Amino acid sequence: MKVLSTRPEDLEMPLSGFSDYLTPVEHFFVRTHVYEPKVDMASWSLKVEGAVATPLTLSLDDLRKMPAHELIAVTECAGNGRGLYDPQVPGLQWTTGSIANARWRGVRLADVLRKAGVKSSGVETLFDGADVPLGTMQDFRRSITIKKALDENTLLAYEMNGAPIPQKHGFPLRVVVPGWASDSWVKWLTSINVLEKEWDGFWMKNAYRQPTHPVAPGTALTPDQMVPVTSLRVKSVIWSPVAGASVAPGSRLTIRGTAWAGDQGPVTGVQVSVDNGRTWRGADLARDQYTQFGWRQFQYEWVPRDAGYYTIMARANDANGNTQPFEPEWNPSGYGWNVASSVAVNVGGEPSRPAQSASAPPAGPGDFRSACLSCHEVNVITQQHLTRAQWDREITKMTNWGAQVKPEDRDRFLDYLFSNFGPGK
Ligand code: HEC
């Protein structure tokens, strides 16, 4: 796994993970805003309350006695690909791997809501998990529309790939919202609240929002100019060959990739180009992987005749005719990256050498360690490449969450952060 943050833990699936149809737990991406909670099953229960006729307290056994449903679905972080946006935006710098495909088993959320007698006045369901916030940040909670909550595919899952949901992935119960980004897939679920108006907490009204239309790169937007992240976008990733590979002229090369879609899935086709997008041909999609919400692997055979430097591209489309753009659509939090995948290979030449890894940056000034590295390690900071104004906003955000920055230190921290982790650094 590619380690983005050691504490809280954020791990990205390597590119080779796309070669599995169902993602094994050792390659399953990990995204935690705070530390993973230890759930005590002796006291665990699920509360269902709010706009319902009969509030419920359910044990895992109660849930297991209800009719079980199973489906295969991709779970993808809204920020998958954030690290590819230019100008760069703050946040974990995911490239391709904050995604996994799994078989989920559990009960329909609709069945639980009906059992509680959900009222017609309900507009959203708000989910909370057992994780606890750090410092003064707000507790991570997310809501989804009542329409999506009552969808027959929305589950409360207790199994992932035929085993109890692993601790890191939400044991004992995780919300599964097929077609939507993972921020709605609340882990360690303990409560469901049916709301009669939209929830206005931090994690819906400030975080996980994006503009409805593309904006000029670098535009600053306020949360009310954006809407919550919901459906995933159709996307494909080429995972073999890898960028910079060397290929012998006249030899047969199988181009392999994986494609998926959101609410408007399934993926219905993938086009491949071996000449940097001039001409396109249909790839072969795995026939036994045709599901609405799971991913689908594809391949394309190519025999490059002449030596040269070739750009291979892939572009998927979904059942509603959506396809991938060729240019990024920048947004302030770096969500929804789904640019057509491209990989350059050298036919008849040398493989290109991977970039040298950078040397360690100098330690921060004064009390930087106690002020900035008490909740998380420095890797959260070193992966950013932000402007001075963006670093200034990060310091304000972290101070609001409880970082203790002495007034005389603020400018020194800002200078240190900008000069070591500025754009292009
Ligand atoms: C009270 C705990 C706490 C302290 C102290 C703290 N942070 Fe954070 N910080 C967090 C959490 C929690 C996250 C991750 C949020 C997430 O994953 O969504 C985070 C994330 C970040 C990120 C990633 C971008 C983002 O906004 O998510 C940066 C950069 C960062 N912190 C910088 C700093 C700096 C600089 C300081 C010192 C001024 C600091 N942090 C002090 C809790 C803290």
* pLDDT score, position 71: 98
* pLDDT score, position 351: 81
* pLDDT score, position 168: 96
* pLDDT score, position 145: 98
Which residue's CA is the nearest one to ligand 1's atom 37? 372
* Averaged confidence pLDDT in the chain: 96
Task: Tell me, using a 6 A CB cutoff, whether residue 34 lines ligand 1.
Answer: yes
Vertex 331: Cα angle to 327 and 333 (nearest 5): 130
Q: What is the pLDDT of residues 129-155, one digit of tens each?
A: 999 999 999 999 999 999 999 999 999
User: Which of 380, 382, 385 gets mutated to test ligand 1 (max ligand atoms within 8 A of its CB)?
Assistant: 380
Query: How far apart are the C-alpha atoms of 253 and 240, rounded to whole Å?
Result: 9
- Split at pLDDT 50, 70, 90, the class of 355 is low
Q: Examine the pLDDT at 21 and tell me if it is beyond 80.
A: yes
State the distance between the two ends of the chain, measured CA to CA, in whole angstroms.
Answer: 24
Distances (CA, A) of 262 to 24, 100, 235, 265: 22, 14, 9, 5
Token pair belonging to 377: 């390690």
Specify the ligand 1 atom closest to the Cα of 405.
38
pLDDT above 90 covers what percent of the chain? 95
* pLDDT score, position 253: 96
* pLDDT score, position 339: 98
Query: How far apart are the C-alpha atoms of 282 and 285, rounded to whole Å?
Result: 9
367-400 exposure pattern, b = at least 16 Cβ within 10 A, e = fewer: ebeebbbebbebebbebbbbeeebbbebbeebee
Query: How far apart are the C-alpha atoms of 84 and 337, rounded to whole Å?
Result: 8
- Split at pLDDT 50, 70, 90, the class of 356 is low
Q: Examine the pLDDT at 359 and tell me if it is beyond 90.
A: no
Count Cβ atoms within 10 A of the Cβ of residue 235 and give its class: 0-12 exposed, 13-18 middle, 19 or more buried: buried
Query: How far apart are the C-alpha atoms of 84 and 181, rounded to whole Å?
Result: 18
* pLDDT score, position 350: 82
Q: Examine the pLDDT at 53 and tell me if it is beyond 90.
A: yes
Vertex 182: Cα angle to 225 and 27 (nearest 5): 140
The mean per-residue pLDDT over the stretch 390-413 comes to: 96
Task: Tell me, using a 6 A CB cutoff, whether residue 398 lines ligand 1.
Answer: yes
Count Cβ atoms within 10 A of the Cβ of residue 10 and give its class: 0-12 exposed, 13-18 middle, 19 or more buried: buried
Task: Tell me, using a 6 A CB cutoff, whether residue 369 lines ligand 1.
Answer: no
Q: Examine the pLDDT at 363 and tell me if it is beyond 70.
A: yes
Token pair belonging to 298: 């594809």
160 alpha carbon – ligand 1 mean position (Å): 30
Task: Tell me, using a 6 A CB cutoff, whether residue 375 lines ligand 1.
Answer: yes
348 alpha carbon – ligand 1 mean position (Å): 47
* pLDDT score, position 329: 95
Place of tokens 């940097």: 276
Cβ-contact 339, 80 below 8 angstroms: no
Query: How far apart are the C-alpha atoms of 214 and 144, rounded to whole Å?
Result: 23
Cβ-contact 126, 140 below 8 angstroms: no
Q: What is the pLDDT of residues 169-191, one digit of tens each?
A: 999 999 999 999 999 999 999 99
Residue of 170, 166, 139, 133 lying closest to 155 (CA atoms): 170
Query: How far apart are the C-alpha atoms of 208 and 230, rounded to whole Å?
Result: 9
Q: Examine the pLDDT at 275 and tell me if it is beyond 90.
A: yes
CA 391 to chain centroid: 23
User: Which of 376, 388, 395 gets mutated to test ligand 1 (max ligand atoms within 8 A of its CB)?
Assistant: 376
pLDDT above 70 covers what percent of the chain? 99
Residue of 111, 79, 116 lying closest to 96 (CA atoms): 79
Residue of 417, 421, 425, 422 lying closest to 398 (CA atoms): 417
* pLDDT score, position 424: 83
Query: How far apart are the C-alpha atoms of 154 and 168, rounded to whole Å?
Result: 21
Query: How far apart are the C-alpha atoms of 298 and 286, rounded to whole Å?
Result: 6
The mean per-residue pLDDT over the stretch 405-419 comes to: 96
CA 362 to chain centroid: 31
Task: Tell me, using a 6 A CB cutoff, whether residue 207 lines ligand 1.
Answer: no
Token pair belonging to 294: 């799971």
Cβ-contact 342, 257 below 8 angstroms: no
Q: Examine the pLDDT at 425 and tell me if it is beyond 90.
A: no
Q: Which amino acid is at 25?
A: V
* pLDDT score, position 352: 78
The mean per-residue pLDDT over the stretch 212-236 comes to: 95
Sign of CA dihedral 273, 275, 276, 278: negative
328 alpha carbon – ligand 1 mean position (Å): 26
Q: Examine the pLDDT at 102 and tell me if it is beyond 70.
A: yes
The mean per-residue pLDDT over the stretch 337-361 comes to: 85
User: Which of 140, 392, 394, 417 gets mutated to test ligand 1 (max ligand atoms within 8 A of its CB)?
Assistant: 394
Cβ-contact 91, 333 below 8 angstroms: yes
Q: What is the pLDDT of residues 42-51, one digit of tens each?
A: 999 999 999 9
User: Which of 29, 369, 375 gets mutated to test ligand 1 (max ligand atoms within 8 A of its CB)?
Assistant: 375
